Chain A
Amino acid sequence: MAENQDKIAAVREQLFSRRGFLADAFSGLAGIGLTALLQRDFLAANEIGPIDSRRWKHGCGRPPLEAKAKRVLQIFCPGGASHIDLWEHKPALAKYHGQPLPGEENLVTFQGKNGNLMNSPWPFAPAGQSGKMISTLLPNMARHVDDIAFIHSMQSKTNTHGPGCVFMNTGAIFEGFPSAGAWVSYALGTANENLPAYVAIPDIRGEPPNGKANWSSGFLPAQHQGVVLAAQQPIRNLNVPSGISPEEDQATRELVHFLDAGHATCNPGLSELQARINAYQLAARMQLSAPAVADLDAEPRSVHRFYGSDDRNPFKAAYARNCLLARRLLEQGVRYVNLYCASRASGVDGLLNWDAHKTLKADYERHCPIFDEPTAALLTDLKQRGLLDDTLVLWTTEFGRMPTHQAGVTGRDHNPAGFTCWMMGAGVKGGAIVGATDDFGRRAAVDPATVWDFYATVLQLLGFDHKQLSYYHNGLNRRLTDVQGNVLRGLLA
């Protein structure tokens, strides 16, 4: 019975405190000046210790358990970035190049028939103190291997890009589920109320497969949706429309405020009215703070050169600018940044993203230079600024690629049975390696790991038991980790 009462209370809380976090955050704050508010933000952002788990409430700014990380940067390379051509060295591919894959001689995968085993077109070389083997296509990323914990045994449920990307971001292959960023926004709330808690930075070439479903709030309240902001794309509706002077805009806001204040007085007991009044003030502040954080010109030339944002390759320069933007957002306390390198599929496989079906060599010689230097620069910058101490960095893709080439061409088909993701930064044991695929990279063979294990680990680093963080929807207390998930202890510092 007690369980039932708790359940009713939880659902009730969810359904009826629909003013949600804003109302909670603001209810006691009307009339407090901007300075006070900013100070409060600053304090909140610097608190990391847990609060009593019985008193814990979603969005209160702190986790119920001890946390290592306060914020997350997730870099996503859509298209199925090949584990065996980037991160996981498979010498057997060279040895058996041109021979059939043992036991799977007539393999039919996503696009059809497979040919024989195909060696990676580029050599691997040892890097760092650890001597971890990494593709020579990633000379800059090679500098970071000692700080990275690789998971070489990831497995996905689907071999299709759209559901795969959504799965990697939400833990479900269907649309309509909240992404990890939305869960973190819901769980922790914002650390800087003048900026969104969760920002998605799509690539200049376009959105990833399945588009906005990747940063959706799903069934969580709409305020947890990822706000799209990129160097090439300001926050939607942020600017006062042309033809309206600042004075007119200000006077209009004052009248709105006057009318709303009167209306709120006539309607006591409706706290969402006050929340809406506050949301207008917050929006006004966001109009000032978001362009400021997105103003990359404020960075010295040397920084731009370091990231590669002045590169002649326009895709690389654009991605480098987004890397720089990501750092500025994290610095300002944005909780979750979802940064994309590449986009959805195009008419030509592998052109716009990592989906190298037909011409692996040409495709990755196009994508790796875009990815390598700016990403490495971003990681170095985060480290130098001390941000890595409490920022968790994730690198993800939706699945890996086959050790064979596709029949008749020199590219690889989708492989959900084994691929690589990695973590770095707060709470992560640098140089750790979790799991491995078999000799050819075909299947996760040692300690297979799922997206649910991945996020169970992420949530733990953020101070949450992934089994306890849930939200009622259509009959279930849903979790980011479904009914699965085991923390990958091997990569914890």
Chain B
Amino acid sequence: MANRHLITRVLLIGVACGSRLAELRAAAPTPIDFKRDVAPIFEQHCIRCHQPANKKGELSLSTRADLDANEVLLAGKPDKSRLLEVVDAATGAKPEMPKEGEPLSKQEVAVLRTWIAQGADWPEGAIVKERSKADRNWWSLRPLHAIVPPTDGVPMEWRGNAIDVFIYTKLKAAGLAPNSQADRRTLVRRVTYDLTGLPPTPAEIAAFVNDRAPDAYEHLVDRLLASRRYGEHVGRQWLDVVRFGESTGFEVNHIIENAWPYRDYVVRSLNDDKPFDRFVMEQLAADSLAPGDPATEIALSFLVCGPIDIVGNADAVQAAQIRADGIDEMIRTTGEAFLGLTVGCARCHDHKFDPVTQRDYYSLYATFAGVFHGDRPVAPDEQLREHAAKLAPLEYKKKQLQEVRATQLKRCKEEQHVAEIDRQLAEVDRQIVALPGPPMLPVGKFEQPAAEQFVFERGDAQRKGARVVPASMNTLADVTKGFELSADAPERTRRLALARWLVAADNPLTPRVIANRIWLHHFGTGIVATPNDFGYMGVPPMHPELLDWLAKYLMDNGWHLKRLHRLIVMSQAYRQSSDYHADAAKLDADSRWLWRFPPHRLTAEEIRDSMLYVSGKLDERMGGPGFRLYQYARDNVASYTPLEIFGPETYRRSVYHQNARAARIDLLSDFDAPDCAFSASGRVPTTTPSQALALMNHSFTLTMAESLAARLKREAAASNPAAQVRLAFELLYGRPPNDHESAAAVDLVHRFDLRAFCRAMLNSNEFIYVN
């Protein structure tokens, strides 16, 4: 609104000035008002490069003082003012300024000229600020607008599911038509991968292909959603979003041995279909919702599972900045993961694109200011007290012994004495360790922060600006009730208030963002193609009405994600074939309008898990400490060396891999598993020779090829290579081979052996693509 208003005013001035420019110059017009007339010109053309944070040519046009610090104009003398000289194109040449972007219009130049002529009044306190490109009317910041789509012209079988009505209507408008349903083999492979991350077995394929019941597909979907593999698969996607890593990162990069319970919490929550609003709240404020319950409080790992610099710094200025960086990391992840807003961009200055101010950022900073990285015992208060009471005398004894030891050493007493003290110390340590205590979990430590919290000018922790209190972001103030706590609000209530605000019924971002993430993993691309950025720099939604409808559906269905998955995979849009049509591709090559199901490559984890699964080697034990595909060595910093041989202890699903940061993992890194430095909104599949090298040459492929060969011999007639080849095709591709394929495969088996054939199959495209 504000923007439009300003533009209108400038235009009015424009009209007033019009073509009678010379006349206007002569006959002094109505007095120029700085805020109304001049500030918008600076805002539009100058301020991006001439502000305190940028100051090109040492010039800022932000405040009166900035202006006075330079001699860019002479009040009352436009013709002697450099400001006018550089923007005036009257001579016909391109004006010197603005350096980038359109020159000022004649009307705008005239306004400046008149302003200077009238004395260049700049009222005290008027500040020119760069405006974000989007304001609070930006589409994603408006309330959900869920309409029931009209079904006119939509064929009967596309009317039953609102998704289909939306999709069909847009397809039709774009001159496209959807494909017919995919065949059953294709469909069962697609939906099994999509919901569990693993392929269907030949028996499961056959059962579905032969199931004549009208609700056969529905049954299949329900079985898959109930499978515990669902949580393992979808859980991995969430771990990407929250940048979950199991080492500290940075220079030290020590492994974190007790991080895995958070991963299990995510898998369990998804399998239990925990309402997403509850899931969000637990990750920010579980200590308020279920205090002392380790199974819930572990959710708080979300706050502190990002990379953190723990090297230690005696330089106080640097140490303060490192602390600010640690909180920044939490703010960014929270903003991107839940809100799809790049809040971190407002750390040093107001967001240049979205209506997120520096004050919004530091309100969140005040909210998180009491969160510190590290472990904490988690148990009900009473239990913590009991444990502390038992621990105290032991700790006291230990301290005494240490003091005695130090004194003895100083006095150079006989070594025997010291040895005896060491023995006693070891005994105390043993007792401390043996004391049954609450679990130590990496859920962060909470301290009451200083009451005074500030904006840090330009993000510099030494430059304290305006005071802030824990509060919600004004970005959404028009649509949902915010919160503003007192400066001394208890630490715990700050995070709880934020959590409640994130999942409030009228906060439109959180449901939009999660609905889009779910959609993304079924169709390969989100309705918003930039799932962590629903702001100006993101890609606008293909189907805004559909996105809102899905978000509303999710909330109306108790925030149960499985219901949304079910709705999506039950749609005709999802069930159509991936057949290619050149004509349609001309209009929509990537099938963004969904005229076909977009085929896609498996993710790194799906590839590795599938290799294990089809070879009969997948160890399906759930949860607990993870396995490693690297060798870990540590002195004062850590190193991660890739393993040459992956032993059977590593044959678990990839979600259980202990994901260290800055560790290059064969297969996983090659196939685009992200290094968990930031929130990753999705995988960008690349094609590289290193993938081919890893899949062809790593000993893992060879071992899997041998295991698969053994399985084929076991399960198909040992003396019948054609039958073995057929089984391999069923296992890996979900279909039997044609005659040519069978002949070529059998030929390789004859010339070499079954293992060679299996190695080829594991390297083939069809194995790692889903139609």
A residues apposed to B, CB below 8 Å: 7-8, 11-12, 15-16, 18-20, 22-23, 108-113, 158-163, 173-176, 206-207, 209-213, 216, 218-219, 221-223, 227, 235-241, 243-244, 247-249, 251-253, 255-256, 258-260, 262-264, 267-270, 272-273, 275-277, 279-280, 282-284, 286-287, 344-347, 472, 474-477, 483
Contact = CB atoms under 8 A, between A and B. Distances in A.
A474 B533 contact: yes
Interface string B692-728: 1110111100100000000000000000000000000
A394 to B, nearest CB: 22
A439 B704 CA distance: 65
B697 A239 contact: yes
5 contacts: A15-B525, A23-B687, A276-B691, A276-B765, A280-B692
B331 to A, nearest CB: 13
A259 B760 contact: yes
B277 interface: no
Contact of B313 (A8, A110, A277): A110
Nearest to A17: B590
A108 B315 contact: yes
Given A207-B639, A253-B696, A255-B748, 17 more contacts: A15-B530, A160-B251, A173-B325, A175-B662, A221-B686, A236-B694, A237-B666, A237-B697, A237-B698, A241-B697, A244-B702, A259-B765, A270-B599, A272-B687, A273-B769, A276-B687, A346-B636
Contact of A264 (B533, B582, B698, B765): B765
B537 interface: yes
B147 interface: no
A214 to B, nearest CB: 9
Contacts of B250: 160, 162-163, 175, 210
Given A159-B315, A162-B251, A273-B765, A475 B687 contact: no
A222 B677 contact: no
Given A22-B688, A263-B765, A345-B636, A175 B675 contact: yes
B439 interface: no
Contacts of A22: 687-688
Contacts of A216: 662, 675
B345 A222 contact: no
A113 B681 CA distance: 44
Interface residues of B, number: 93
A2 to B, nearest CB: 11
B678 interface: yes
Interface stretch (B103-111, B201-209, B426-434, B737-745): B737-745
B687 A20 contact: yes
B529 A15 contact: yes
Contacts of B67: none
B752 A251 contact: yes
Contact of B678 (A18, A158, A206, A474): A474
A354 to B, nearest CB: 15
A211 B662 contact: yes
A132 B114 CA distance: 57
A476 B318 contact: no
Interface string B521-534: 00001000110110
Q: Which of B251, B590, B689, B697 has the most CB of A within 10 A?
A: B689
A475 B535 contact: yes
B504 interface: no
B457 interface: no
Given A159-B313, A212-B663, A12 B249 contact: no
A159 B318 contact: yes
B756 A160 contact: no
Interface string B625-657: 000000000011101101000000000000000
A104 B196 CA distance: 62
B95 to A, nearest CB: 21
A222 B667 CA distance: 12
B766 interface: yes
Interface centre among B307, B599, B669, B692 (most CB of A within 10 A): B692
Contacts of A247: 752
Given A211-B253, A272-B687, A283-B696, A163 B751 contact: no
Contacts of B535: 475
A11 B342 contact: no
B689 A475 contact: no
B688 A223 contact: yes
Contacts of A270: 580, 599, 769
A280 B695 CA distance: 10
B687 A19 contact: yes
Contacts of B745: 255
Contact of A237 (B353, B636, B693, B752): B693
B275 interface: no
B309 interface: yes
Given A110-B315, A160-B311, A275 B687 contact: yes
Contacts of A221: 684, 686
Contacts of A235: 693
A202 to B, nearest CB: 11
B336 interface: yes
B75 interface: no
A275 B311 CA distance: 43
Contacts of B580: 267-270
A276 B671 CA distance: 12
A210 B687 contact: no
Interface in B217-269: 249-253
Contacts of A256: 760, 763-764
B731 to A, nearest CB: 14
A258 B315 CA distance: 63
B538 interface: yes
Given A108-B315, A476-B537, A175 B752 contact: no
A209 B637 contact: yes
B679 interface: yes
Contacts of A19: 687
A176 B678 CA distance: 7
